[in-house]
Structure 1
C-alpha cells in the first residue's frame, strides 16, 4: 500500500470519499450499527495511539474520558437543550480539561506507575457516576437522546455518515499535528526522553499535549457513542473499557493509522463472534490473550501484516515506518 500511495496524495482522500458515498448502501439494522461502532471506536483507538504510539505512555484513563464524553453529551442535550454537535464538542472539551488536570500529577510517574495511578482515577470515576443522583441517573444510568443535526432527527445511515466525517476530520487534524513541532517533539521523547531534555525540549509540556489530544479524541468518541446507543450507565467508566482501548492499539499496531482501524475492528468484531458461537463468557479474557499473542508474535500489531504508512513521527529515529 505504501508504493500505491507514493506520488498519489489524492488517492487516500478519494478512497475516504468513496467510503462516504457507499456508506448508505450498507444494509441497515445491526450491520450498520456495528459499522458505526467501528468508526466510533476507531476514534478512541486513534486517540489512545497518539499517546502510546508517540510517547510510549500507557494510560488506563481512557474509560474516564469516554464516559465524560458520553455523559456530557446526554446531559447537555437532554437536560439543558444544547444542540447535539455543540454538546459533543463541549463534552470533549471537558474530557480534555479533566485529562490535563489528571496528567499534571501523574506525568511525574513512569511506565507501570503511571498506568496504576490512572487506574485509580478510573475507579474513582465509577463511584462518581453512581452517586450522581438525578443528573447521571445513578447506578441505573440514564437515557440519551437520539442523534439530531440542526434540529432534524438523523436516521442510522445519516448518523453513520456523520461519524465518518468526524473521524476523517480527526485523522486530518492529527496528521497535521504529527508534522508540527509537537510531532517532532513527540518523536524525540519516544527515542529518548533524556536526550530530548538535553536538547532543551520541554518534555513535560509535550507529554501534556499528547495527553490532552488523547483525552479530546477519546471524549469525542464517547460523545458520538451516547446518541447511537441511546442509553448510558456507570459501566462506561469500567476498567474493561480502558483495557479495550489499550488492547486496540497493541493488537492493531502502535503508531499506525491502519493499526487503529484494525484494533477497533478487533475489539468490536471479536466479541460478536464469540457471542455468535456461544462463548460470550470468554469476552473479558479475550483482550488479555490477544495482547499477549500480539506482543509475542506480532510486536508491530496486525498492521505489520500489511505494508502501510505509520503515523508521521511515530517511529524511533533512524527507522522507517512499517
Structure 2
C-alpha cells in the first residue's frame, strides 16, 4: 500500500488528524465547558516531550511511552487547570496564555527536554514487526481520532457533559443546582489536555524530532481559530474548522498560484485566518456549526423560576 499512497498526501492527512485531536480537546474545554484557554499548545508539547523522553532517554517501548504520555498530560493538565477555579473569561485566557509561555520556556531551557537542541531520533512505533510509517501511521492516527470522537460524543451526552454545559451557560446557576463546579472544571482541563497529549505523542513519533518552537502561542492561536470558526460545542464544527484552515495553505502549495509568493505563505495564512475570524464572529458568533445552548433549554424555566416547570427539576 505504501507504494500506492503518495507520502506527501499521507503526511498532510496525518498532520490534519493530529490537529483535529488538538481541536477536539480545545473544543471540549472552551466550547462545551466555556473555559477559554490560550495555552493549549502547552498540553500538546507536554504529550510530545513526555513520549519522546520516555522512549529515547528512558528506553521504554514506543507504545508504552505514548500511553504514559497521555496519562502524564492528563495529570499536568488538571494541575494547570486549577487557575480556572479562581479566574474567569478574559482573566482565564490571560492566565492560560502565561502558563503556555512558561511551559514553552521550560521546554527551551531545560536539560531533560534537550534545551534549544530539542530531542531527535524519536522511534516510529511498530506492530507485529511492521514499522508504522506512511500508510501504517495514517491508519494509526485515524483509529485514535475515531476513538477520540466516540469518547467525546459519549462524554458530552452524559451527565458529565450536561454539567459542563450548565457551567458554560451560567456557573452561578450550576452551583445553585448542586453541581460541583470545582471538580468539573478541573476534569474538563484534564480530559481536554489528554486529547492534546495524544496528539503530541503522535506528532513526536511521526516527525522523529521535536523542539520548543513547535509548541508556541501561534499553535494555540491557530487551533483556537479553527475551533471558533468551525463552531463552539460541536464535533462536526471542529472537523470542519480544522480541515478548512489546515488544508487551505496546502491548496496554495499544491496549485502554486502565480500571484502568491510562497516565501510569505505563513503571513498570508494568518491574514486569511484573521479575516475568517472577523467574518465568523460578526455573523456567526458561535461558529459555522456552533450550538447555541439548545440542550439547556430545559434548564431555562428552572433558572427563571417558572412555577409550572419547577417540579420537573426537583
2:285 aligned with 1:299: yes
Alignment RMSD: 2.3
Distance 2:61 2:275 in 1: 42
The 3 A distance-change label for structure 1 pair 234 and 151 is: farther
Q: Secondary structure of 1:201's match?
A: coil
Give the corresponding residue for 2:92.
Answer: 114
- Tell me, yes or no, if the aligned pair for 1:187 and 1:315 is still in contact at 8 Å: no
Matched, 1:42 2:20: yes
Structure with max Cα Rg: 2
Match of 1:55 among 21, 30, 33: 33
Match of 1:318 in 2: 297
**Matched residue, 1:171:** 149
2:26, 2:294 → 1: CA distance?
A: 16
1:150 CA drift (Å): 5.2
Structure 2 CA distance for aligned equivalents of residues 314 and 217 of structure 1: 23
Cα distance between partner residues in 2 of 1:247 and 1:269: 14
- Give ranges in structure 2 of 5+ residues lacking alignment: 299-314
Matched with 2:117 is 140
User: How does 1:282-297 map onto structure 2 within 5 Å?
Assistant: 282-297=268-283
Change (3 A) 1:315 1:98: farther
Deviation digits for residues 180-206 of structure 1, max 9, x if unmatched? 221121122122211111111111211
Could you report, residue by residue, the CA deviation over 1:207-262 in whole angstroms, capped at 9, with x for unpaired residues? 11111111000111111111112221101221001111111110111111111111
Shift of 1:149: 3.1
The equivalent position to 2:219 in structure 1, one of 241, 257, 276, is 241
1:228 corresponds to which residue?
206
Distance across 1 between alignment mates of 2:213 and 2:282: 31
Q: State the partner residue of 1:5.
A: none
In structure 1, runs of 5+ residues without a counterpart are 1-22, 305-309
> CA–CA distance in 2 between the matches of 1:152 and 1:73?
20
| Contact 1:85-1:149 within 8 A present in 2 as well | no
What SS does the aligned partner of 1:142 have? coil
Q: Give, in angstroms, the shift of residue 75 of structure 1.
A: 1.4
Question: Aligned partners of 2:294 and 2:134: how far apart in 1?
Answer: 38
- In the alignment, the residues of structure 1 paired with residue 158 and residue 284 of structure 2 have an alpha-carbon distance, to the nearest angstrom, of 30
What displacement does 1:50 show? Answer: 0.8
* TM-score for the superposition, normalised by structure 1: 0.83
Aligned equivalents of 1:193 and 1:258: distance in 2? 26
1:163-187 CA-to-partner distances (Å, cap 9, x unmatched) read 1111111111122212222112112
Instruction: State how 1:253-264 maps to structure 2 within 5 Å.
Output: 253-264=231-242
Residue 68 of structure 2 corresponds to: 90
Q: How many residues align?
A: 289
Once the two structures are overlaid, the 10-residue window that deviates more, 112-121 or 67-76, is 67-76
Report the Cα distance in structure 2 between the residues aligned to 1:295 and 1:25, rounded to whole angstroms. Answer: 44
Instruction: Quote how far apart the aligned CAs of 1:152 are.
Output: 3.7
